[in-house]
């Protein structure tokens, strides 16, 4: 649209200049001839001849010129162009007369341009020339102007559309590369078209950035592997020695010490494993293994497993899972996410609490909800509890490292799932909205 507007403005300026120059040239020629004829008529009256007689003589020698002589009251006294009295009386200076003014022009004369002056004795003299050429030229310029404007607008729109499509193709290439990065693939690069334009410069910068990010991710992955090898192995060996020492001692006090030490090592190994798990999820590499997951079946199995656990903790459990819910994702990670939510509800609610698990289709999403009527979480803490190592004071006595909900958030983001914590009045309601399977172009 901007290109069409600029082209249109340029065409208007050019045609304005052409029109002014052409129209001015023709009009000046007509006015020069009319002025010359007027001067001749006035010169003829210098010898005492009346203006009407002088005009009659000029008509005989200048048949292409139009004259009108009027009395002071506008009454016609002579000439070959009859003008109404009121009209003739009001004329002064240069005017272009057409039939639209109520004037009867001679046949084949479209317009007359002339000058009207008042004489000393009060008479009125009009002298004009045919202005049909001027009118025809104006119409020709107008028609040409409209045709060129139409062509200019169409060419401008077509050119703008082509430029826009070319730009959109380049932008889409950048967007596609961004989507691959989000999916965990840092190996792709944005293709250059070799023109050296701004898009090529941008693509070069983005490719350099991607190469740097890929190198950093590889370094991070290597560091993570080194930590796994250098830290987890000694902890595992420490646990084995503690187990061996526990079996070899018969002192009840020392056995209690060894039990506590083994529990602390297990907690450390669990925290380390959870951190590695979250880092792996956030890297996005697991997306490449996504497949159709029968979430109805998965939740039904979890409900059957946890019902016994929940009831053993003196709590109530209810499940309402709609059948044939299928989402696109990693079944292992989804199982861990739902299990974390149920275990979080079990761990941080008192006896007598009711815990519920539900799943349904809502507004094109597979909506899964884990809710309880326990103490809940203050609304201003809903965002913070999804971060790593965050434990509310009321929950510290229950153990845990504060990584359960952080892992849930990481799995939700990996699956493009909308995660929301809300007040259950009382209690907590965790809602997960997964994109419908057909939105991924897949079938169950």
Q: Report the candidate in 296, 345, 338, 284 with the shortest Cα–Cα distance to residue 317.
A: 345
For residue 394, the model assigns a pLDDT of: 47
pTM of the model: 0.48
What's the distance, CA 185 to chain centroid? 26
Which of 361, 379, 387, 366 is closest to 427 using CA atoms? 379
Nearest Cα to 283, choosing from 379, 217, 365, 193? 217
In which residue are the tokens 């991070």 written? Answer: 220
The CATH architecture of the domain made up of 198-283 is Orthogonal Bundle (1.10)
pLDDT confidence of residue 33: 86
Q: Where are the beta strands (DSSP E) in 9-160?
A: 65-70, 76-79, 93-98, 111-118, 124-130
The closest of 127, 133, 90, 87 to 110, measured between CA atoms, is 133
| Cα gap 95→99, rounded to integer Å | 13
379-388 pLDDT tens trace:
888 878 887 6
Which residues are bridge partners to 93 per DSSP?
Answer: 116
What pLDDT, on a 0 to 100 scale, did the predictor assign at position 250?
Answer: 81
Longest dimension (CA), the chain: 156
pLDDT reported for residue 273: 65
Domain extents in the chain: 2-136, 198-283, 290-440
pLDDT along the chain (444 residues), means of 10: 66 74 79 86 78 83 84 85 80 82 80 86 86 78 79 79 82 80 70 80 84 78 66 78 83 84 75 64 65 91 92 93 88 88 90 93 88 88 75 51 77 86 90 72 41
Q: Who contacts 188 (Cβ-Cβ below 8 Å, separation ≥6)?
A: 177, 180, 181, 210
How far is the C-alpha of 298 from the C-alpha of 366, rounded, in Å? 13
> Across the beta sheet with 93-98, what order do the strands follow?
76-79, 65-70, 124-130, 111-118, 93-98
Residue 165 C-beta-side C-alpha neighbours within 13 Å: 5
Domain 2-136 has CATH 3.30.450.20: yes
Q: Which of 369, 363, 385, 379 is nearest to 303 (CA)?
A: 369
Alpha carbons 277 and 257: distance in angstroms, whole number: 30
Q: Look at residues 73, 140, 135, 72 and name the one whose alpha carbon lies nearest to residue 105.
A: 135
What is the pLDDT at residue 117?
87
* CB < 8 Å & 24+ apart, contacts of 166-173: 167/199, 170/199, 170/203, 173/203
pLDDT for the residue numbered 39: 86
- Read off the pLDDT of residues 178-203 as tens digits, 9 standing for 90 and up: 777 766 666 777 778 778 888 888 88
Domain 290-440 has CATH 3.30.565.10: yes
Return d(Cα 135, Cα 109) in angstroms, integer: 10
Residue 125 β-bridge partners? 69, 117
């Amino acid at each position: 649209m901007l290109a069409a507007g600029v082209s249109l403005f340029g065409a208007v300026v050019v045609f304005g200049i052409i029109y002014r120059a052409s129209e001015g040239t023709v009009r000046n020629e007509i006015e020069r001839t009319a002025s010359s004829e007027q001067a001749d008529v006035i010169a003829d009256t210098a010898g005492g001849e009346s203006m009407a007689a002088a005009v009659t003589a000029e008509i005989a020698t200048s048949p292409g010129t139009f004259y009108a002589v009027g009395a002071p009251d506008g009454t016609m006294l002579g000439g070959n162009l009859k003008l109404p009295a009121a009209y003739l009386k009001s004329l002064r200076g240069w005017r272009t007369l057409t039939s639209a003014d109520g004037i009867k022009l001679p046949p084949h004369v479209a317009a007359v341009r002339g000058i009207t002056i008042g004489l000393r004795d009060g008479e009125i003299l009009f002298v004009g020339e045919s202005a049909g050429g001027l009118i025809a030229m104006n119409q020709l310029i107008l028609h040409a102007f409209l045709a060129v404007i139409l062509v200019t607008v169409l060419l401008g729109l077509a050119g703008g559309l082509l430029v826009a499509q070319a730009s959109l193709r380049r932008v889409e290439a950048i967007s596609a590369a961004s989507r691959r990065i989000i999916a965990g693939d840092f190996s792709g690069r944005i293709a250059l078209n070799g023109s050296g334009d701004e898009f090529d410069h941008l693509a070069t910068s983005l490719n350099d950035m991607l190469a740097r990010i890929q190198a950093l991710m590889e370094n991070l992955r290597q560091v993570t592997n080194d930590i796994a090898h250098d830290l987890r192995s000694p902890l595992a060996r420490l646990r084995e020695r503690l187990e061996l020492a526990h079996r070899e001692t018969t002192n009840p006090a020392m056995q209690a010490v060894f039990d506590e030490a083994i529990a602390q090592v297990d907690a450390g190994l669990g925290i380390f494993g959870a951190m590695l798990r979250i880092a792996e999820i956030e890297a996005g590499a697991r997306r490449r293994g996504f497949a159709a997951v029968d979430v109805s079946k998965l939740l039904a199995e979890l409900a059957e497993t946890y019902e016994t656990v929940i009831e053993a903790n003196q709590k109530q459990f209810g499940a309402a899972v709609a059948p044939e819910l299928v989402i696109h994702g990693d079944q292992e990670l989804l199982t861990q996410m739902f299990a974390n939510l149920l275990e979080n509800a079990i761990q941080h609610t008192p006896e007598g609490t009711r815990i519920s698990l539900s799943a349904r289709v809502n507004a094109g999403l597979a909506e899964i909800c884990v809710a309880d009527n326990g103490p809940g979480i203050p609304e201003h803490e809903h965002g913070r509890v999804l971060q790593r190592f965050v434990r509310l004071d009321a929950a510290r006595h229950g153990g845990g490292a504060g990584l359960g909900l952080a892992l849930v958030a990481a799995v939700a983001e990996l699956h493009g799932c909308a995660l929301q914590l809300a007040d259950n009045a009382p209690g907590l309601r965790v809602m997960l909205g997964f994109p419908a399977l057909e939105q991924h172009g897949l079938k169950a």
